[in-house]
Amino acid sequence: MALQLYLDLNSQPCRSVYIFAKKNKIAFEYKAVSLAEGKQYSEEFEKVNLLKRVPALKDGDFTMAESVAILKYLAGKYKTPDHWYPANLQQRARVDEYLAWQHTTIRFHGSRLYMFKGLLPLLTGEPIPAAKMDEAVSDLQASIGCFEDKFLQDKPFIAGREVSLADLVAIVELMQPLGVGFDPFKDRPKLSSWRGRVEAAVGKQLFDEAHEKMLKSSETSSNLDVKSPAMQRVAISLKKAYM
């Protein structure tokens, strides 16, 4: 049975897995799971991932969740080039250090701003309070500053001279706010230069392909049935996570 990846490219972690698999010519069957339609809550998907989140992987009888774990699994199984997840202990530690840090910082703050400016007001019918919005912007900017000072410094990439899983996970998160009109790269030349290097390392065509859907998310969100049970379930989940 072919490797199956359950994905929604509106999701940052899904894009990291998609880009990594495509870049490394890993053959897989794309299984679409629309988060906006609540498909992650379906009985069919629950058989693959009890956590009801994407991405998810099915490799024969083996299933797993969590994007970072999936990326490391793919890197190991398919023996991808060493720079992605280096064998050198200290370089690998740099990758792991970023991957451990980003969950509650770049990932959370970028997602929160994306939801505040996009899906949450649509689902709830209420604007996000100005103080909450300002807080979300401030928190994201602080995380980006830490990313530049601690993790990027004056290096081409997080782990040194070549792109790694850390850069891939970071770039998809930092691209997310662009989908709702907020540019985290504005007035940040170091961050913008790093973005250009990551895009070039991945391949511009693949990078743009992976982000095309998300960058048009504001157009597609208007077609959602926000009163449906599935959408109301999504709304409750998002409010708990970000408000």
Kindly list the averaged pLDDT for each block of 10 residues, start to end, along the chain of length 243. Answer: 93 98 98 89 91 96 97 98 98 98 97 91 87 96 98 96 98 96 97 98 98 82 70 79 79
Q: What is the pLDDT, as a whole number, of residue 120?
A: 85
Q: Report the distance separating Cα 159 and Cα 95, nearest Å.
A: 6
Cα distance between residue 77 and residue 61, in whole Å? 15
Alpha-carbon span 130 to 128, nearest angstrom: 6
pLDDT reported for residue 222: 61
Q: For residues 241 and 104, what is the distance between their CA atoms, to the nearest angstrom?
A: 12
Radius of gyration, CA atoms only, the chain = 18
Three-state SS string across the chain, please? Answer: CCCEEEECCCCHHHHHHHHHHHHCCCCCEEEECCCCCCHHHCHHHHCCCCCCCCCEEEECCEEEECHHHHHHHHHHHCCCCHHHCCCCHHHHHHHHHHHHHHHHCHHHHHHHHHHHHCHHHHHHCCCCCHHHHHHHHHHHHHHHHHHHHHHHCCCCECCECCCCHHHHHHHHHHHHHHHHCCCCCCCCHHHHHHHHHHHHHHCHHHHHHHHHHHHCHHHHHCCCCCCCHHHHHHHHHHHHHHC
> Residue 218: what pLDDT?
66
Residues paired with 59 in a beta bridge: 62
- For residue 220, the model assigns a pLDDT of 64
Which residue type sits at 138? S
Give dist(CA 98, CA 234) in Å, integer. Answer: 29
